[in-house]
Copies of this chain bind each other. A is one copy, B any other.
Amino acid sequence: MTALREDVGFLLTRASGLVVRATNAALADLGLRVRQYSVLVLADDAAEGISQRDLAEVLGLDPSQVVALVDELAAAELVERRPSPTDRRQRLVAATAKGVRLRRRADGAAAVGLQRQLGDLNVEEQGTLRGLLQRVVDGPEDAREETRRAG
């Protein structure tokens, strides 16, 4: 329609919005939304659980948003906050047995939702897209270098 259609930033936002919508629709029967599902995956994949700080960083969310998401999942008994085995003062978010079971079903549903939007891209093209997006997420080399120096 206009030059916006050529703009990679605009296309990223639109593609992301459409994939989120398709995935939310696919997860609705399980009572989950995409962000809750992402927290559940991260909590389940981390052997001892994951800190809310790490959740915020990986998901690119504000700490207050993460607290709200964890509260929702904890109220549904899908995750729980446990003391870290290495630092009792720190609490980690871990999936409950009920959460692990739901996550397995949600994995399938989320994949179906994603493919509904990506359906025109074959496996190789999806791999290319994945690799390019990983590099966008990692950011330019010099920005990583700055972060490393600052850290």
Which chain A residues have a beta carbon within 8 Å of chain B's beta carbons?
1-20, 23, 34, 38, 41-42, 45-46, 58-60, 110, 113-114, 116-121, 125-126, 128-130, 132-143
B118 contacts A125, CB within 8 Å? no
List of B residues within 8 angstroms of A133 by Cβ: 8, 11-12, 14-15, 129
List of B residues within 8 angstroms of A13 by Cβ: 16, 19-20, 34, 60
List of B residues within 8 angstroms of A126 by Cβ: 8
Number of copies: 2
A41 contacts B3, CB within 8 Å? yes
List of B residues within 8 angstroms of A110 by Cβ: 9
**Chain B: which residue is nearest A13 at the CB level?**
B16
